[in-house]
A = this chain, B = another copy of it.
Amino acid sequence: MIAEQYYEDFEVGQRFTAGSLTIDKDHAVAFANAYDPQYFHIDEQAAASGIWGTLVVSGWHTAATTMRLKLDTPLGKAAGGLVGLGIDSMKWPRPVYPGDALSIVITIIEKRQSKSRPSHGIVKYKVETLNQDGALVMEMVTAVWVPYKNA
C-alpha cells in the first residue's frame, strides 16, 4: 500500500513502474463492441484479412488499461486523486494483441507551482505502456495537479 503522495514527494527524473495486466480476447472484443466496433477489433475472421492480419485491441482499451496501472504507482496516490489536466500527446506506435500483458513506466519530466492555485503544483509526466516483450505500445505525456503537503 503506497501512502498518500504530495507535491514535495515527486522529483524530476523519478521513474515508477506497474503491471502487468493481461487483456484477454473476450475482454478485448467486449470492450470494442461497446466503444470501438471496427472489424479488426471484433471479428476474428474479417481481421485475418485486414491491415494487421489478426484481431488487435482498441487503442482506447490500451489507454483505459494504462489508467488502471497508473493507480498502482505513487502517482496514483496523489492526494485528492489522479485528476488529469489533459493530454499533451498520445500515440500508439504498435498494436496490442489479445493476450498481451501490459505494464507501464512513468517518468516525471517537469514540476512547478501552480500560478492560479499556489497551494498546488503541476507534475508533468510521460507514461510508456509496454507489452510482455518490452516493446512500446502507447506513449502519453500528461500532467496532474498535486497539493503541497506544506503549502
Which A residues have a C-beta under 8 Å from some C-beta of B?
31, 34-40, 50-51, 58-61, 63-65, 67-68, 71, 80-92
Q: Are A89 and B92 in contact, CB atoms less than 8 angstroms apart?
A: no
Closest chain B residue to A93, Cβ basis: B86
Q: Are A38 and B71 in contact, CB atoms less than 8 angstroms apart?
A: yes
Main secondary structure of the interface of A (DSSP, over half): mixed
Min CB–CB distance A146 → chain B (angstroms): 13
Interface centre among A37, A39, A83, A85 (most CB of B within 10 A): A83
Q: Are B35 and A81 in contact, CB atoms less than 8 angstroms apart?
A: no
Q: Are B59 and A84 in contact, CB atoms less than 8 angstroms apart?
A: yes
Cβ-defined partner of A34 (8 Å) among B51, B64, B80, B88: B64
The 4 closest A-B pairs by CB, nearest first: A86-B91, A35-B64, A87-B90, A60-B64
Known contacts A51-B80, A61-B64, A87-B89; can you find 20 more A-B pairs with CB under 8 A?
Answer: A31-B64, A34-B64, A34-B68, A35-B65, A35-B67, A36-B64, A36-B71, A38-B81, A39-B81, A40-B81, A50-B81, A51-B81, A58-B67, A60-B60, A60-B67, A63-B63, A64-B64, A86-B89, A86-B90, A88-B89
